[in-house]
A and B are shown apart, each in its own frame.
Chain A
């Protein structure tokens, strides 16, 4: 049997070998991130109502970095999602990392999808969600809309972009 002091020394040594960033992530219990993962799971199934169940009736969705007006309210968001679902064959939306702060969740990821017409689109983005209780009431996403438009029109995904979106997925 390992003596108690020896066991503590082993644990201490193991902890010292773990980067601080990993410890910080593992010791903080995410409260908001599970909501977002549920939204992502629903959207991967193209389950519009499964997404909407996680937002407030007065949701404000700013999904364009400021080049288009905000989408306001659950009904308007439902219509927008239904329009998107109709032209997306499959999607692989995923996050590379996130951070939480009180009622706000920050994220970095990629909205990757294939259109029913065959085009492959991958939009790296960062954004933030504001929560009221367990529901999202403001959603802001930032990216370059011109890149998105070019890929929807058939522009290829560059090697640089492949590198950007080839990062490990957040857990």
Chain B
């Protein structure tokens, strides 16, 4: 049963709709969100998550975040997907990633996204998507 993936799917729909408060409604108050494991410090708590999402909102347009595959065990959901969007100056950023989400009482309390920010930085600087990135994205959504 993919109950946690259903929750994430609702969250993704809310983010595509640029609805920050609905995104936050799927997180616990004490959520710990590593949006780029090891590369950036985690965001701790819903208030900090709100600030981060509002910052993302300004930088991300035409969001096409999608998940290619997922599996869950107990209170943990594993996903593989791409965070794809357009920057304010019209460049496409598409970073393949794997994520691990911990749940408590149906809400996300831990979130770890594993991604290479160097790939995103190159794309933001105007470099085209590399062949290996395109290959990683060339899969049907889950």
A-side interface residues toward B, CB under 8 Å? 19-25, 28, 62, 64-70, 97-101, 104-108, 123-128, 140-147, 160-161, 164
Other contacts beyond A126-B99, A145-B116: 17, CB < 8 A? A21-B75, A62-B136, A65-B119, A70-B135, A106-B78, A106-B80, A106-B98, A126-B100, A127-B98, A141-B98, A142-B97, A143-B114, A143-B116, A144-B36, A144-B37, A160-B42, A164-B37
Whether the pair B96, A142 counts as a contact (CB closer than 8 A) is yes
Convert B102-142 into 0s and 1s, putting 1 for each residue whose CB lies closer than 8 angstroms to a CB of A: 00000000001011111100000000001111011000000
Question: B69: CB under 8 A from chain A?
Answer: yes
Distance, CA A104 to CA B142, complexed state (A): 13
Size class of B's contact patch?
35 or more
- A21 pairs with B74, CB closer than 8 A: yes
> Residues 31-64 of chain B: 1 if any A CB is under 8 Å from the residue's CB, otherwise 0?
0001011110110000000000000000000000
* Residue pair A144, B78 in contact (C-beta under 8 Å): no
Closest 10 CB pairs of A and B: A21-B74, A106-B78, A101-B71, A126-B98, A65-B116, A99-B71, A99-B73, A142-B114, A142-B98, A126-B114
